[in-house]
Amino acid sequence: MSGTSLDGVDAALVDFSAAEPRLIATHYLPYPQELTIRLLDLQCSGENELHRAAQLGNDLARLYHESVEALLLKSGMSNRAIAAIGCHGQTVRHNPQAGYTLQIGNPFLLAELSGIDVVADFRGGDVSAGGQGAPLVPAFHDAAFRISDKHRLILNIGGIANLTDLRPEKATSGFDCGPGNMLLDAWIRKHRGLPYDNDGVWATSGRLIPDLLQTLLAHPYFELDPPKSCGREEFNLAWLAPLAVRFPAEDVQATLLALSVESCSLAIERWCGHPDEVVICGGGANNSALMRGLRERLGLARVVKSDRIGIGADWVEAVAFAWLARQRLLGRHGNLPEVTGARRLRQLGAIYPA
């Protein structure tokens, strides 16, 4: 998995032979800074972008292969023992309203380098059926984390934050809440040259700007009813900078932390009622200031990291795309129309043979 945060590759080796998935090995491979810059440059149209996208796809495939090799080395397994690689690819455009979402990563090259079949292009099948193509992880959350006697929410805080509502005796629902780490990362990268705000330290050094928070929360996306999904197209520095230009940078960071907390909390209150438990996964689970803010804002809800229910917070999405790849190999659907708005259940992903 390589997500909207553009920080690197999360790779997980998963055994699905038992009732619950077993995580055998994990590996995190950070993106070189120049690769992140090139990917950010590709978010907007520019000179020779098709060539740049193709070259980046090849570079990503080689990084994915490096991650696979590290996993195999850690586990002591050979490529012959692996059924398939589930590869999400790197999203560079997400515009389901126009009928497309684009992830790059050259799965044919990854299959050639690794000697393992690859399942990729998970989102296109859902979009072709009229869906958002996102979020896709709620189907895995439903399979792995649903319990019959507790109203549980899964809140995945990556670059974008998304919710899965696992209410007993109700169909699973879910949607993208809005920015998770994406604006926090972009703002500290712009002002301090750092890839992320470690543990929210810079944010806690600043003061909340209430008027700015209300302005940010007035973004039309937050008022849309689910199903809905978002990305850099909606939340980016070009949108933020004119609104924040007259404020101290650390105060803006504090306000962006509050935006992540408040947008997630408002989404829960508006569409999910009163859960018994909120389970946090994704990179945001490692930000103690963000976790503290969610616990305080949500009040009675029990807020815990996904480590407490079986899968480490850093690895849930990678395991989810391994599960989606397995669904494709078994000929089973991978989407939930109640979540994405698709007209029907669809098998997701294309198989690229080694």
Residue range 83-135, pLDDT digits in tens: 999 999 999 999 999 999 999 999 999 999 999 999 999 999 999 999 999 99
Q: What is the pLDDT of residue 201?
A: 98
For 54-73, the DSSP string reads HHHHHHHHHHHHHHHHHHHH
> HSE of 3 in the Cβ direction (CA atoms, 13 Å)?
32
Q: Phi and psi of 314, rounded to 5°? A: -75, -15
| Cβ atoms of residues 217 and 265 within 8 Å | no
87 token code pair: 């590869």
Question: What is the average pLDDT across 56-60?
Answer: 98
Local confidence band at 155 (pLDDT 50, 70, 90 cut-offs): very high
| Cβ atoms of residues 5 and 159 within 8 Å | yes
**Orientation of helix 210-217 relative to helix 249-271, angle to 10°:** 50
Q: What is the pLDDT of residue 44?
A: 84
**In the chain, what percentage of residues exceed pLDDT 90?**
96
Local confidence band at 43 (pLDDT 50, 70, 90 cut-offs): confident
Question: What is the average pLDDT across 49-54?
Answer: 96
Is it the case that residue 45 has pLDDT exceeding 90? no
CB-based contacts of 353, cutoff 8 Å, min separation 6: 111, 117
Structural domains of the chain in order of their starting residue, each with its CATH number: 8-133+315-352 (3.30.420.40), 137-309 (3.30.420.40)
pTM, full prediction: 0.95
Q: Which amino acid is at 328?
A: R
Mean pLDDT in the chain? 96
